[in-house]
Amino acid sequence: MPELKALLFDVDGTLADTEEAHRQAFNWMFQQSGLDWYWSPELYLELLKVTGGKERILHYVMRQGKPWPPHVTDPKRFVSELHVGKTARYLSLLKQGNIPLRPGVERLLREARARGVALAITTTTSLPNVHTLLQVALGEEATSWFATMVTGEDVEHKKPDPQVYLKALQRLNLRAANCIALEDSDNGLKAARAAGLTTVITVNPFTALQRFPGACVVLESFGEPEQPARVISGELLPRTYVDLDGLHDLLQKAQQ
């Protein structure tokens, strides 16, 4: 019977509903730069198929047939500069303190720490975004709760490529069979599954219409004792919310 030794947490959409703030930060930066580009919530749903902010901007311009502004001679460099400004705006939105962790996240993190189950971050976004989200929500020392944080800057290929998960497993020195990935998106699920990980999905407004073949359970949230988790597919019973014992059971069942 495999023992549960680590939880690998995605960030955007899983730890917190951050994608709306990302969207606003992209639009803010476009406006600051004098661009007539605007990402509506509907368009952003489509654009989320491309992971990584820089890759998303490039995709938008190439696929939507948008012209580069006349002064742009090096589109990749221009996108990187835009993305620096977008990240600064996103960080200031996080620091306003209006983006709470999703239900059950803090409880699960604390439970894992208390029970000696390692924690890791496995995300497409960058390290400053992760640090700030955690520090604003949980206090300065929360970043030290994680044995490792693998971000988009650490890999050549972002999700749905499994690199971010494989690197986390390598750094943790653990086998996939002893770990659970917690994700919110189809791209995240593909990455985790390709790394051999049992994966729990908690959807959010940006991913609720996606499909999750291969997830061991798909939930509306992790839930809380007084706030049951609505199950979209799979099985959580006899529990009404996700806790460490429940994750352990899911790991056993997934590997039977």
In the complex, the residues that contact Mg ion under the rule CB under 5 A are: 10, 12-13, 184-185, 188
Residue 217, strand partner residues: 200, 234
Report the partner that residue 223 touches, choosing among Mg ion, ligand XBP, none (CB closer than 5 to 8 A by kind).
none
Provide the minimum distance between the beta carbon of 15 and ligand XBP in the complex, in angstroms, as a whole number: 8
Q: Look at strands 6-9 and 198-202 and give their pairing.
A: unpaired
Pick one of 123, 163, 199, 221: the residue that binds ligand XBP (CB under 6 A): 123
Nearest to ligand XBP of 85, 228 (CB atom): 85
Helices (H) and strands (E) in the chain, counts: 9, 7
- Which residue in the block uniquely carries the two structure tokens 């047939």? 65
Here's the x/- map for ligand XBP, 226-255, by CB under 6 A: it reads as ------------------------------
Give the Cα separation of 235 and 216 in Å (integer).
Answer: 8
Residue 125 touching ligand XBP (CB under 6 A): yes
Residue nearest to Mg ion (CB): 13
Residues taking part in catalysis: 10, 12
Report the partner that residue 190 touches, choosing among Mg ion, ligand XBP, none (CB closer than 5 to 8 A by kind).
none
Give the Cα separation of 179 and 162 in Å (integer).
Answer: 14
Please give the residues from 41 up to 70 whose contact with ligand XBP meets the rule CB under 6 A. Answer: 51-53
- Which residue in the block uniquely carries the two structure tokens 């996700």? 242
The residue type of 93 is L
Pick one of 27, 129, 148, 207: the residue that binds ligand XBP (CB under 6 A): 129
Give the Cα separation of 129 and 249 in Å (integer).
Answer: 32
Please give the residues from 4 up to 33 whose contact with ligand XBP meets the rule CB under 6 A. Answer: 10-13, 19, 22
Buried/exposed 179-207: b ≥16 CB within 10 Å, e otherwise: bbbbbbbbbbbbbbbbbebbbbbbbbebb
Give the Cα separation of 7 and 181 in Å (integer).
Answer: 6
Give the binding site for ligand XBP (CB under 6 A): 10-13, 19, 22, 51-53, 123-126, 129, 152, 159, 185, 188
